[in-house]
Amino acid sequence: VYKGGSYLIVGPRKSGRTLLALQLAKEAAKSDQVCLYFTNMRPKDLMIQAASINFDIQSYMNKNLVIVVRVAPPGELEDFRNNDDVLGDYIRDIISVVNEYKAFLPARVVFDELTPYLGFEDLGYLQSVFLQTLEEIEDKNISSFFVVSEPAAKRAEAIVDVIASNVTGIIYLKKSAQKLNQFHG
């Protein structure tokens, strides 16, 4: 993982995406580096997930080494604005939050589950907004990690391709069949 690099974590449901994202936050915190962790999970669910990898996230939150930023899902976009504009604002707000916490000198930004915020109609606009956001984060020498669902349709695949074309690296998680037909990440 390069300092100041940007990474996309892609995988199907239950493949370990959130656990990997939490591991990235844990490793930063253990090194006394601040991690901004964006999530739409309920705090209790996030703590349960973190505990499953022996990560006492609350203790690191108390030390301001992990700063959890709860992001509301976009829901139904029925206001008078263009849906792409609303989604663009969600992506650009990452920079606003990074700037809000600049006194803490964040070393990492993790956005656990960016998928709900990527339903852009205009893929050129998505690329522009995402690239501008990445460049501002990278200019601050902050490593960034974006978790997205494995695309299930051609449109979703095109959206993920736009994001993937702008990052330093891509981490693909897959499920493999184990005995008893159970799947494990």
pTM: 0.90
Burial of 4 (0-12, 13-18, 19+ CB in 10 A): middle
The gap from C-alpha 183 to its chain's centroid, in whole angstroms, comes to: 24
CA angle 47, 163, 103 (to 5 degrees): 55
The predicted-structure confidence for 84-99, as pLDDT tens digits, reads as follows 988 899 999 999 999 9
pLDDT in tens, 118-174: 889 999 999 999 999 999 999 999 999 999 999 989 999 999 999 999 999 999 998
Q: Which pair of structure tokens corresponds to residue 129?
A: 């907004």
